[in-house]
Amino acid sequence: MPRITPGAVKGTRDYLPRDLVLRNRVFAQLRETFERYGYEPLETPTIERTDVLEGKYGEEGEKLLFRILRRGRDLDEGVAKLVAATDRGTGAATRLLSDEALRYDLTVPFARVVALYQNELQMPFRRYQIQPVWRADRPQKGRFREFYQCDVDCVGSTSVSIEAEMLAMANQVLERLGFEEFTIRINHRALLGALMASEGVPAGLTSATLVAIDKLDKIGPAGVRADLATAGLEDVVAQRVMAAISITGKPAEVVARLRAETQLGSDLAGDAALRDLEAVFGYLAALGVPETRYSFDVSTVRGLSYYTGLIFETVAPGAPVGSLCSGGRYDRLIGQFTGRDLPCTGISFGIDRIFTAMEILGLGETDTTTATQALVSTLGAANVGASFAVAQALRAAGIRTEVYADETRALKGQLSFAAKKGIPLLAIVGDDERQAQRVTLRDLRTGQQETLSMDNAV
């Protein structure tokens, strides 16, 4: 049998216990917060049929699918067809050699589940899903081929109360994780569309204009102006657009200034979008979200993706790693999958970004690399039974307790084991303690120790 030397596959990660202490705590906090808002867990298989996945992620996305090789007779047949074919290119090969692939995101499986179980699921249906996805991207710092996505969606409601609830949930998640300074930037996709029209951007230049605005964080206002000029937008129109997206202030002030300084209010869609936003800001107050935590940011675009209503993204100024969580309303996407239009609002938490930001800001740091709280010594076979009894008493009291696994090793070695693992408490059960039915407790951080009766020790 060959010896194993290699590590994890390129772009994937092993999570050792020291990594999982924080990671599992964060995941538990996410789940708990979602469930506290009535969102329920959903899990879908790792493998999906390629006809479910294909046509959803664009040509570039599809190249990144991890496809499963057919097996046995299916594989033989695929190979025979490929050998006989004149086109043996990548496209033909993947089609003939594979019909299943790994999950690429959580949205398509969610859409499949909604379509498949639509008669069983009570609508509106709120679900969260925290599972890994796979993309054969070129691995680089902070980008992996296997990574967790965390999506929270509500399907079946057109009420903007959902948007408000999601924003309150995002605020609470980040608060619980220890983030103090962050801003949820809120905007509205229909408002952007209406703004383009009302400020005189020709229909043919709307996309180019939005793409330019989307780059504001990266290239600054001057860069956006340059891009707009290159795209062929009239200078006076560009100036009006720049003026509108530069309006800042408290959310209600931005609404008021947009009504006063642009034509948005007299546009049907623009007015509706502004009223959506006003409703959401009102709900956020009822939900107790401080106004310092969010902004109405007219320059937020979130790409040219599938959003149709409110959009949002979250930045932490002290940890510029990109958006920590983002989302919005996408009323037409699920309909494309199911054949029945189903309104949907979703938020996605960037797990890797959140951990990176927490690291930069020093959040969630612990003085231990283990969840274990106590080590019970085992000093010779004669004392193992007494050590076990002590351990069971500690465990019954809810203390995570490890019994040292080699009773032939000297106390010094067992102490050093506890210290290296960062276990804070050592319970020593030697001959004296066993005979007296006592236990010596040593606090490994202070070095203090005390010999107590079993009852008192617990």
Residue from 330, 337, 331, 259 nearest 296 by CA? 259
Least Å distance between CB 143 and its own copies? 15
Which residue's CB is nearer to its own copies, number 66 or number 294?
66
**Residue 130 near residue 75 (C-beta atoms within 8 A):** no
Dihedral angle at the C-alpha atoms of 191, 55, 214, 188, nearest 10 degrees?
20
349: tokens are: 């938490």
Number of residues assigned to the chain: 458
155: tokens are: 């399907």
Least Å distance between CB 167 and its own copies? 11
Phi, psi of 30 (to 5 degrees): -60, -55
Which residue's CB is nearer to its own copies, number 57 or number 256?
57
Provide CB contacts within 8 A for 175, sequence distance 6+: none
**Residue 374 near residue 394 (C-beta atoms within 8 A):** yes
* CA–CA gap between residue 411 and residue 378 (Å, rounded): 8
Least Å distance between CB 290 and its own copies? 13
Least Å distance between CB 302 and its own copies? 21
Which residue's CB is nearer to its own copies, number 296 or number 417?
417
Which residue's CB is nearer to its own copies, number 12 or number 239?
12
Which residue's CB is nearer to its own copies, number 218 or number 408?
408
**Residue 237 near residue 256 (C-beta atoms within 8 A):** no
298: tokens are: 């007219």
Least Å distance between CB 427 and its own copies? 12
Which residue's CB is nearer to its own copies, number 98 or number 209?
98
Least Å distance between CB 14 and its own copies? 5
Which residue's CB is nearer to its own copies, number 143 or number 400?
400
4: tokens are: 């194993």
**Residue labelled with tokens 């005979």:** 435
Least Å distance between CB 137 and its own copies? 11
Which residue's CB is nearer to its own copies, number 138 or number 218?
138
Least Å distance between CB 91 and its own copies? 10
Locate the DSSP E strands across 161-223. Answer: 183-188
**Residue labelled with tokens 């009323």:** 331
Instruction: Return the biggest CA–CA distance within the chain.
Output: 93
Phi, psi of 104 (to 5 degrees): -100, -30
Residue from 351, 311, 289 nearest 30 by CA? 351
